[in-house]
Amino acid sequence: MYEDMFYERLVKLRMARGVSQREMSLSMGQSEGYMTKIESKVSLPSMTAFFYICEYLGILPKDFFDESVEHPAIIRSINSDLLKLNEKQLTNIAAIIEDMAR
C-alpha cells in the first residue's frame, strides 16, 4: 500500500521535473538503470538514497509524502522568496493569491 504510493509519487515528481529515469540516475551518481529499478518496483532506495532523491528533486523528505502538494519544488522556491519580502509586499502578494484562487 505505502510502497505503491512511494513509487507513484516518485514517478510524478520526476516527470514534473522533466527528466528521464536515466538522466536522474546519472545525475545522482548512480548507474543508468538505477531509477528504472526503483520505479519498476524491483527495489526500494536506501534511506540515504531517498535523501539524495529528495535533494535532486529540490524538495524536503516531508514534501515527498505530502500528496496534497502537487508541485512541492515550486512551492518551496516561492516560500524561500517570500521570506525576503517586507510586510507590505507580503500583504500585496496575499491579495493577489486570494484573487487568483477565486
Domains detected in the chain: 2-101 (1.10.260.40)
How far is Cα 54 from Cα 56, in angstroms, rounded to an integer? 5
How far is Cα 38 from Cα 54, in angstroms, rounded to an integer? 14
pLDDT in tens, 68-88: 888 998 998 999 999 999 999
| Through-space distance between the first and last CA atoms of the chain, rounded to whole angstroms | 35
pTM value is: 0.78
pLDDT in tens, 16-49: 999 999 999 999 999 999 999 999 999 999 999 9
Orientation of helix 72-82 relative to helix 2-17, angle to 10°: 70
What is the residue type of 51? F
